[in-house]
Amino acid sequence: MRPQPQSAFRALSDPTRRDILQMLTTRDMTIAEVSDQFDITRPAVKKHLTILQEGNLIQVRAKGRERVNSLNPSGMAPVLDWLEFFDSFWDDRLTTLKTAIEKDTK
């Protein structure tokens, strides 16, 4: 059974969380390092990170007393699968439209 994309979509729905994901593409970061990049409280950043983890978009590991957050690229698979369905839907529709237009112009 494939993972459901709802929790990933929830995580992606917020611009701050999308910014955090982009930051994690360059390197793993602690909560403090992520917090330093935003003008919001550390507890607010922690909540964003928790939602990203629940969406399976990041992984968190303990390193001594710190928790290090890293990007989980495979967490996007359910989202991409869901979007792929609509991509093929539109491909079919646009091909049909193109054929109809070309037929009418001949």
Amino acid at 97: L
How many domains would you assign to the chain?
1
pTM for this predicted structure: 0.79
Q: Rounded mean pLDDT of 47-73? A: 96
Question: What residue numbers bound the domain in which 43 lies?
Answer: 6-105
Distance CA(96)–CA(79), nearest Å, equals 26
Residue 86 lies in a domain: yes
Domain containing 79 — which CATH number? Answer: 1.10.10.10
Residue 1 lies in a domain: no
Distance CA(21)–CA(69), nearest Å, equals 10
Mean pLDDT value across the chain = 90
Residue 39 lies in a domain: yes
Residue 85 lies in a domain: yes
CB 19 within 8 A of CB 48: no
pLDDT band for 100, please (50, 70, 90 cuts): confident
Residue 92 lies in a domain: yes
Distance CA(78)–CA(45), nearest Å, equals 24
